Structure 1
Amino acid sequence: MDSQQQAAVGVDPPVVKRSIVAGAIGVLVHWFDWAIYAYMSTTIATIFFPAQDPTAGLLSVFAVFAVSFAIRPIGSLIFGPLGDRIGRRKTLSIVIVTMTAATLLVGLLPGYESIGILAPILLIVARLLQGLAAGGEFGSAATFLAEFSPRKHRGFGVSWLEVGSLLGFLVASLTVFVLSTVLNSEAIAAWGWRIPFLLAAPLGVIGFYIRQKIEDTPDFQALQENDNVAETPLRDLFTGSWRQFLQMCGIEVMMHVTFYIVLVYLLTYQAQHLELSSSNAAMASTVTSLVALVLVPLFGALSDRVGRKPLLIGSGIALMAGGYPLFMLMEGGSLVSVLMSQIGLGAILALILGTHAVSIAEIFPTRVRQGGLSIGYNLTAAVFAGTVPYLMTYLIDETGNVFVPAFYLMLVGAVGLVAALTLRETVGKNLLTSQDVPKNTTAEDPASAQRT
């Protein structure tokens, strides 16, 4: 049936459920790989870099990590507009195959002692491939979920994207915990470190299979039927939707900085400034992830009832009002005070994660949606997310003020608040705009008639 007929009958609920799995599983694979590389960094340093200076080796591992982060905007420039030209499903399939192959390659690489300088070179190549593919994952998946989710439940449907990212973190930490429990340090250094990277292969195969079994989104099919697929999506994005792009960047700066401070940097912060044991810090981080995991879809569903804008405004206000008090609570130093603080920060993070993706997906026309989401997300990630650990460490060292992370959260909360205030409410919006379909047609957003 064509898109107009599909709009009349709606997308079957089983198809919607499969689309949610198809969209979320790639994000899970991406963040699983990202977390595993970070968790295994000390071991990777000894395997791939000369053992003359352990610190230099560790810095080299983090440098490779930073390179893969910095290349993501290039990946977004490739895969974002590509999805607006050839479709969401095809791009998602290309991305997950590339991402899985790069992760698998790391698990199969010989070490420095076996092939010398070629080992770190191949590691860099693998991480560059992973970074390029990761540059296309979020925008492709968010667009895919937004265009498949029923209009009345779009916030809930898209929120599962971030459930996938949090699950990736949790599965990675659980994998490393099991390895360190079952194997001794010698076995992990000899071969055990490869297991998590090899696990990405079956996850990727499952994700590819699911994505291949689903048709492209009804909205993109409507573009094809109306012969209105963007021929120059990148140019169209920055000539026709630059305001939406700037609004998105403001929201994403708030999201990225909060995400990396709460789930990544706090592990280092607590060890350095609170003298919290690594096991207690890891436990607190896991609790935070679990809290966010439960709350994200609830906030996504809430946005379907009260709107995106109130929750985004609330997110900015919560960071501005709660950042400093929650860090003061954390400075109490006890495990209880740390847990209470992180639960509060996790709840604010969940409020942002449950709302941001659907909000930015709804502000772009369908013709340039994937490009806009991909480029804006990864550009702000490269500039603001990847610099969080270094910037926080540097500023605390220079100022002697341990509340720098709280002030930074308050600042990005203000940025997000300003961006949210400029947005129009988009809940229940028809994703197919006048830019997407000719005026003489009656094409309707296929999600509008989906079963509820």
Structure 2
Amino acid sequence: MASETDAPPTVAEQRKTERRVIIGSSLGTVFEWYDFYLYGLLASALSLHFFSGVNETTGFILALMAFAAGFAIRPFGALVFGRIGDIVGRKNTFLVTMAIMGLSTFAVGFLPGYDSIGIAAPIILMVLRLLQGLAIGGEYGGAAVYVAEHAPPGKRGFYTSFIQTTAMLGLILASSLVVGLRAIMDAETFLAWGWRIPFIFSIVLLSVTLWIRFQLEESPVFQRMKAQGATSKAPLTEAFGKWKNLKIVLIALFGAVAGQAVIGFSAHLYPLFFLERIARVDGATANFLVATALMLIIPCFVFFGWLSDKIGRKPIMMTACVIALFVYFPLYKALVGAANPAMAAAVERAPVTVVAHGGECSFQFDPIGKNTFDRTSCDIAKSYLAKAGVNYANIEAPAGTAASVRIGDTVLPVPDPSGLDAEGRAEAVAFFAAAAKTELDAAGYPDKADPAQVNKVKVIIILCVFGVLATMVYGPLAALLVELFPARIRYTSLSLPYHIGNGWIGGFMPTIGFAMVAATGNIYQGLWYAVAIAGVTAVVGILFLPETYKRDIEA
């Protein structure tokens, strides 16, 4: 006769275990997105402290590149820790990833700036970002697999949706902390050292998460596989060396994760940068608006996760991808109108056009900080407009023609710097800047959005639309990825497409998007990146992505 200690757990005990599993797994996602969003929120401060000596636009893009470096290495972390997770186990693997990720974030709070240790500062920052990204490469896959393998049949979408929900909590926590610090500190103090506090605070999140995870048991699916001797001895070879599974990896990447990544980034980080850099909304207000919208849409993650258990993962995710194709451009245009109506009115009333020969125009991005963009009249014009965040169109002029700028009906000649020495070019740049500023002011182009004119309700509604689309693709995603792959190579197989999608395709979206804006002068140009990828995912997903919500995940 079985003893009392061998009795199966009661319903209450089972639910308590399931809650602990969800909380312990999801806290890692809170941490991941807390760190991720900090780099986005504090890009300007990081640019100031670690990328000194370059112009403002270049420094900001370099800060975004440091931010994106952590994403670049995530797929390699997926390979390393995915393999360990399939061989050694889910629990111990994401204990290690959590520790590496947390300590790398914490260390940024104490890293000296460029003014103290020179070039070593950005190098160390990049190393910390790479370590953090490497660890995250194994974090999400472990959490998704661990929760899904504990979930009762028919509830995997609902249970794993809490992982996605806590991603938003990480964003909100980071945003709230930064907004709060900005509110109680003057701008100089915050930029001097206040920005370090959120990174230092991360040690609290790390301690709580590790404490909870140490109390968890191994996944029951992995325990059964291990007891039966059915674990994989070579998960990388099985996952990517056999076409049968590699084909599913590619379908998962291009038919699900890629679209999820760009739609997700178009819902939180890209709008934040867009509001600050393009619409010229002050940082505190932009953070408040984005954080408010994210808070409002959090329940949608759970709703769409639950709904995907009823009707399937695929129809919800593909619907979001198709809708995104048609709403991004009009909604981002409406976002400018709501956030900075004076700018929107000026663009309509007095559009700006650069008339220049394309061969004389440089790409307005300088990765080494040595280009002053003052060698041609086109460069002088575009450099000023890029820094001022002014939307402009381009008209081709004959070769040898000095550039001019049209602001409405006014034609502003641009000085030709050819033949001038450095001092003469500097004077030409200053002369044009003063003249352009006068004409833009006269045309109604504001330097900054007027806080009193920001239609906060309308901005939040638009941001909520972006957010709901993100929850439609992200809420069911973890369950879909777990169900796509066999248990013995699940951790490895799903981690790679997830982190290629979110690390490379999504993680580089802000950098690529704003580089596209700088290159063309069109403030909406960067949206083509998201629209094109969402379109690819819609096509591949509709044609090739299988429905998975009724699958047996122990197979």
TM-score (norm 1): 0.86
Further displaced range: 56-65 or 411-420 = 56-65
What is the CA–CA distance in structure 2 between the aligned matches of 1:183 and 1:284, rounded to whole Å? 20
Task: From the superposition, tell whether residues 301 and 415 of structure 1 become closer, same or farther in structure 2 (CA, over 3 Å).
Answer: same
In the alignment, is the contact (CA less than 8 A) between 2:90 and 2:142 conserved in 1?
A: yes
Q: Per the alignment, do residues 159 and 6 of structure 1 end up closer, same or farther by CA in structure 2, a change over 3 Å counting? A: farther
Partner of 1:432 in structure 2?
554
Distance 1:414 1:50, change over 3 A: closer
**What's the counterpart of residue 251 of structure 2?**
247
| 2:297 pairs with 1:305 | no
| Structure 2: 5+ residue stretches without partners | 342-454
What residue number does 1:417 align with?
A: 538
For residues 318-361 of structure 1, the C-alpha deviation after alignment (integer angstroms, 9 at most, x for no partner) is 22343344345435435244333222121111111111221111
What per-residue deviation string (whole Å, max 9, x for no partner) do you get for residues 155-187 of structure 1? 111011111111111100111111112223444
Deviation of 1:272 after TM superposition, in Å, equals 4.9
Give me the whole-angstrom Cα distance separating, in 2, the residues matched to 1:161 and 1:420: 23
- Note the alpha carbon deviations across 1:12-63, whole angstroms, 9 max, x for none: 1111111111111011111111222232233334434556766665454333
Match of 1:137 among 120, 133, 139: 139
8 A contact 1:261–1:405 mirrored in 2:
no
Does structure 2 conserve the Cα–Cα contact (< 8 Å) formed by 1:291 and 1:347? no
Deviation at 1:86, TM superposition (A): 0.7
Shift in CA distance, 338/21, structure 1 to aligned 2, threshold 3 Å: same
Residues 99-156 of structure 1: CA deviation (Å, up to 9, x unaligned) = 1111121122334444444433332222221111111111111111111122221111
Return the alpha-carbon distance in structure 2 between the equivalents of residues 403 and 112 of structure 1: 33
Secondary structure of 2:23's aligned partner: helix
Matches within 5 A, 1:160-199: 160-199=162-201
Are 2:506 and 1:385 equivalent residues in the alignment?
yes
Alpha-carbon shift at residue 385 of structure 1 (Å): 1.2
Alpha-carbon distance, 1:432 to partner: 1.1
- Name the SS of the counterpart of 1:241 in structure 2: helix
CA distance in 2, matches of 1:323, 1:54: 28
CA distance change for structure 1 residues 293 and 54 in 2, over 3 Å: closer, same or farther? Answer: same
Amino acid at match of 1:90: N
Q: Verify the 8 A CA contact 2:179 2:287 in the aligned structure 1.
A: no
Give the share of equivalent positions with the same residue, in percent: 30
Change in Cα spacing, 1:175 to 1:259, as seen in structure 2 (3 Å) is same
Contact (CA 8 Å) 2:182, 2:284: kept in 1 or not? no
Scaled by the length of structure 2, the TM-score of the pair is 0.71
CA deviation digits over 1:177-215, x for unaligned, max 9?
111122234443454332211111121111111111111
Trace 1:351-362 onto structure 2 (pairs within 5 A). 351-362=472-483
CA spacing shift, 1:416–1:214, aligned 2, 3 Å: same
Which runs of structure 2 are paired with 1:51-450 in the superposition (5 Å)? 58-238=60-240, 239=242, 240-250=244-254, 251-333=256-338, 335=455, 336-396=457-517, 402-404=523-525, 407-421=528-542, 422-433=544-555
* Structure 1 contact 16–148 (Cα < 8 Å) conserved: yes
Change (3 A) 1:263 1:212: same
Corresponding position of 1:24: 26
Deviates more, 1:341-350 or 1:118-127: 118-127
Structure 1 stretches lacking a partner, 5+ long: 434-452
Q: Distance in 2 between matches of 1:322 and 1:40?
A: 29
Answer whether contact 2:29 2:163 (CA < 8 A) is retained.
yes
Q: Distance in 2 between matches of 1:57 and 1:269?
A: 17
Distance 1:52 1:388 in 2: 22
Q: Is the 8 A contact 1:332 1:338 kept in 2?
A: no
Q: Distance in 2 between matches of 1:274 and 1:39?
A: 16
In 2, Cα distance between equivalents of 1:114 and 1:399: 37
- The letter of the residue matching 2:545 is L
Relative distance call for 1:6 and 1:188 in structure 2 (3 A) is farther
- Secondary structure of the corresponding residue to residue 262 of structure 1: coil
Looking at structure 2, the residues matched to 95 and 107 of structure 1 have their Cα atoms a distance apart, in angstroms, of 20
Moved more, 382-391 or 146-155: 382-391
- CA root-mean-square deviation: 2.7
1:13 aligns with 2:15: yes
Q: In the aligned structure 2, how far is the partner of 1:332 from the partner of 1:63?
A: 29
**Is the 2:179–2:284 contact (alpha carbons within 8 Å) kept by the matching residues of 1?**
no
Relative distance call for 1:229 and 1:409 in structure 2 (3 A) is same
Larger mean Cα displacement after TM superposition, 354-363 or 334-343: 334-343
Matched with 1:35 is 37
Determine the structure 2 residue equivalent to 1:440: none
In structure 2, relative to structure 1, the CA distance for the partners of 1:339 and 1:114 (3 Å cut) is: closer
Q: Distance in 2 between matches of 1:401 and 1:425?
A: 39
Match of 1:445 in 2: none
Aligned length: 430
Residue type of the alignment partner of 1:236: E
Question: Which residue type is aligned with residue 72 of structure 1?
Answer: R
Mean Cα deviation higher: 40-49 or 100-109: 40-49
Aligned-partner SS, 2:266 = helix
Deviates more, 1:374-383 or 1:118-127: 118-127
Letter in 2 for 1:206: V
| Equivalent-residue separation in structure 2 for 1:349 and 1:301 (angstroms) | 15
Matched residues in 1 for 2:228 and 2:42: separation?
50
Q: Which residue number corresponds to residue 448 of structure 1?
A: none
1:269 is paired with a residue whose SS is helix
SS at match of 2:268: helix
* 3-state SS of 2:109 partner: helix
Deviation at 1:233, TM superposition (A): 0.3
2:350 is aligned to none
Q: Residues 211-254 of structure 1, C-alpha deviation per residue, up to 9 Å, x if partnerless?
A: 11111111111110110111110110121411221121021110
User: In the aligned structure 2, how far is the partner of 1:308 from the partner of 1:121?
Assistant: 42
Aligned to 2:406: none
**For residues 189 and 348 of structure 1, what CA distance do their matches in structure 2 show?**
34
